[in-house]
Amino acid sequence: MQAEPLLTQAELDFIQSLQNKPDAASDQSRPDLLVDAGGQVKALLAHCAAHEQLTIEAHFANQRLTFTPHLVEDAQHAQHLELGTPLIYDEGPVDRAWRLPLEPAVALCQRDATPSNLWVREVSMSGLLVEQRAKHEPPRRISLMLPLSDHKPVAIQAALVRRTPQGLLAYRMRPLNRRGRERLQHFIYQRHRSHFPQAHSA
């Protein structure tokens, strides 16, 4: 028996409209946020959004997209909910951050942009799957830059976890700083949209 979707089409359309909303500077005619709820519920939603305690989840195939709405105020002092870039997870017995395949692979670089012999084949918000193009012992820890197309590079610090049967190296990343996390999260989400356009169609 097929499970019923967790979100209705109207709810999915609402999430999509928030995600595709233009910047405030270019859209002065946005309508006020309308919530079909009592005053106490509206106040609770506003409080949770202001303190980043509110999330909206969308499920697609075996993936979960978790959006964090933020409460923003426009020039007319009207408050609106805007969605941040979602975190993407593969769902299973243990949920894990979705891994974006990089084709072609991307070389990790030194801070002076000199390429290393470590090439990233997959990247997630928590780790890297790396191909080593040199015949020596892989580094246990790395501190390198990950170039991202159309974004500034992200400083990566990671520790070797294991070697895969295919000879690739799995590294677990240390938490990124705020700007690096935002850049990587946005890069992964944009690539997810191109990989799964059916999940993001209006």
pLDDT at 32 exceeding the cut of 50: no
Residue at which a domain ends, from 90, 120, 135: 90
25 confidence band (pLDDT: 50, 70, 90): very low
Q: For residue 4, tell me if it sits in a domain.
A: no
Across the range 153-170, mean pLDDT stands at 96
Domain tally, the chain: 2
pLDDT at 129 exceeding the cut of 60: yes
Identify the residue with better confidence: 87 or 79: 87
Q: Spell out the long-range contacts of 15-24 with Cβ–Cβ below 8 A and sequence spacing 24 or more.
A: 15/56, 15/58, 15/67, 15/83, 16/200, 16/202, 17/202, 18/67, 18/69, 18/81, 18/82, 18/83, 19/67, 19/83, 20/202, 21/82, 24/72, 24/74
pLDDT at 169 exceeding the cut of 80: yes
Q: For residue 3, tell me if it sits in a domain.
A: no
137 confidence band (pLDDT: 50, 70, 90): very high
Q: What is the pLDDT of residue 35?
A: 52
Q: What is the pLDDT of residue 79?
A: 72
Whether residue 103 is found in the same domain as residue 191? yes
Whether residue 106 is found in the same domain as residue 174? yes
Q: For residue 1, tell me if it sits in a domain.
A: no
pLDDT at 24 exceeding the cut of 60: no
Whether residue 104 is found in the same domain as residue 185? yes
Q: What is the pLDDT of residue 10?
A: 64
Residue at which a domain ends, from 90, 110, 133: 90
138 confidence band (pLDDT: 50, 70, 90): very high
Whether residue 131 is found in the same domain as residue 177? yes
Residue at which a domain ends, from 90, 118, 140: 90
DSSP state of 24: G
Provide the domain limits for residue 167: 99-200
Q: Considering all CA atoms of the chain, what is the largest pairwise distance in Å, rounded to the nearest integer?
A: 65
For the stretch 109-122, pLDDT in tens is 999 999 999 999 99
Contacts of 17 (CB under 8 A, 6+ apart): 202
26 confidence band (pLDDT: 50, 70, 90): very low
Q: For residue 2, tell me if it sits in a domain.
A: no
Whether residue 106 is found in the same domain as residue 150? yes
Whether residue 30 is found in the same domain as residue 111? no
- 114: CATH: 2.40.10.220
For residue 46, give the H/E element and its range: helix 39-50
Q: For residue 40, tell me if it sits in a domain.
A: yes
Across the range 81-101, mean pLDDT stands at 90
13 confidence band (pLDDT: 50, 70, 90): low
Whether residue 61 is found in the same domain as residue 128? no
27 confidence band (pLDDT: 50, 70, 90): very low
Whether residue 39 is found in the same domain as residue 114? no
Contacts of 121 (CB under 8 A, 6+ apart): 101, 102, 105, 129, 130, 131, 168
Whether residue 29 is found in the same domain as residue 84? yes
